[in-house]
Every structure is written in C-alpha cells, then in structure tokens.
Amino acid sequence: STPDHWIDFIELYADDRLVGKSTLEPEISRGAASFSLKLDNVKVLKSKAGCNLHGIWTTTVTL
C-alpha cells in the first residue's frame, strides 16, 4: 500500500456464498489475506479485491 494506491478489501466466495472477508487499511496493510475453509462439495472459488484506483478485481477458479 501507498498513500495514493491501496486495496480496501478482499473477499472469498465458495459457490457464490461469502466465506471470508478482510477489510484493509491504507498505508498499513499489504493487500493480502488468508482464509481457511473446507472445500467439501465446493465447485467454484471466487475472490474479489477492491482497489481505490482500479475498482474491483475478480478471479474465479473451478475445482
């Protein structure tokens, strides 16, 4: 993070259900998060990260 460019939040979804969220602070946070969950019967993982300059970025992985 820098004073002008940072990640606000990171969310993790399992089959479109929110299973983890981390809210981050400008200049303090490093733009990273980790989550632990069971993947029994989960077919799709999706992460979203909110950037103050570039909006929301999404990545999807099909298991």
- Note the CATH architecture for domain 7-62: Sandwich (2.60)
* CA separation for the pair 42, 53 (Å, rounded): 32
Query: Percent of the chain beyond pLDDT 90?
Result: 83
Mean pLDDT across 25-31: 84
Mean pLDDT across 18-22: 98
Q: Where are the domains of the chain?
A: 7-62
**pLDDT averaged over the chain?**
94
Does pLDDT of 26 surpass 90? no
Mean pLDDT across 9-38: 93
